[in-house]
A = this chain, B = another copy of it.
Amino acid sequence: MPQETIKDRPITASGVRRAAKRIAEHVIRTPLVENDFLNVAAGGRVLVKAEVLQHCGSFKARGAYNLISQLDSDETKRGVLAWSSGNHAQGVARAARHFGAPATIIMPTDTPKLKIEKVRAMGAEIIFYDRYTEDREEIAKPIQRERAMVLAPSYDHPDIIEGQGTLALETIDEAHARGLTLDAFIACCGGGGLTSGCATLLEEASPETAVWIAEPEGFDETWASIQTGERQRADVTRRTICDAIATPTPGRLTLPIMQRLVRGGVSLTEDEVGQAMVFAYKYLKLVVEPGGAVALAAVLTGKFNGAGKTTAITLSGGNVDPSLFAAILQRHGG
């Protein structure tokens, strides 16, 4: 993204709390689900933040509303431009429609059909690009210049990061209301917007909670970046079912936050992700997309050891094409 468009300002827990007030009437306070079978499998207590029940089926509405609700009337008139593998696109499209702003979204040609269909249904213009050969930022630049649109980055922006952090605020408020202390919080991690916003909030609101990230094998460059202290890049020509979190590299704003606050990371294979999706299907009755199931897979595989702990996990998105879901049910449904 063009560097000059990023508003550099501190990302704070109080910023997350302000975001929560700003978006309260626009987003769903999603349930924190607990399940017998999951607790037994983990050997502890697992609280599932069921963000698949959010508007548009993922947490992305949080950041999008937080950013777009703050545009002035001129900016709103010119509209917003975003690139997205499909979930951020829906969040932006819905928020833009709500505030009367035109929205243009740059999406990969191999985006799941369901995501394309839902973005279209909310009235956004879609420009497709080939994510294996083209650079979405190069496609965005002339459009942004000509139309003077506001960029709505999918993660590397303070308003987006603080918006996504509201997920952790709801989670910790609900856990405390049930008399629970969270030993750990596991985020499904792509560019790090969700993780860094949630970690920022938890540092203040629940310092005893260890923040972990779950990534797909081959796209685990965030944990590698945290460990090495240098921004690593994933091989984005690699195919993955976890399209939602197949980001090339962690964000310029998100990585330093994650380096400071993330305590551990695990990588999940596609089979482990598929098994977690089937578990969610059978026992939680929730439809989860591959990229939204990695944190659940971290607990179910034991790669994150939840024994004796109280752990919150994000089920961060549920937009998966029926044909892929059917294939995963047939492969792992038993």
Contact = CB atoms under 8 A, between A and B. Distances in A.
7 contacts: A37-B121, A114-B282, A278-B322, A286-B287, A322-B330, A323-B329, A325-B329
A333 B281 CA distance: 17
Contacts of A55: 36
Interface in A29-52: 31, 33, 36-37, 52
B330 A282 contact: no
A326 interface: yes
Q: How many copies does the complex hold?
A: 2
Interface in A278-334: 278, 281-288, 318, 321-323, 325-327, 329-330, 333-334
Contact of A53 (B33, B94, B288, B318): B33
A295 to B, nearest CB: 16
A326 B329 CA distance: 6
Interface in A259-288: 278, 281-288
A327 B325 CA distance: 11
Interface of A: 31, 33, 36-37, 52-53, 55, 57, 94, 114, 121-122, 278, 281-288, 318, 321-323, 325-327, 329-330, 333-334
Contact of A325 (B31, B121, B281): B281
A326 B318 contact: no
A31 to B, nearest CB: 5
A283 B321 CA distance: 11
Contacts of A326: 325-327, 329-330, 333
Contacts of A57: 283, 285
A287 B330 CA distance: 16
Given A57-B285, A285-B287, A323 B318 contact: no
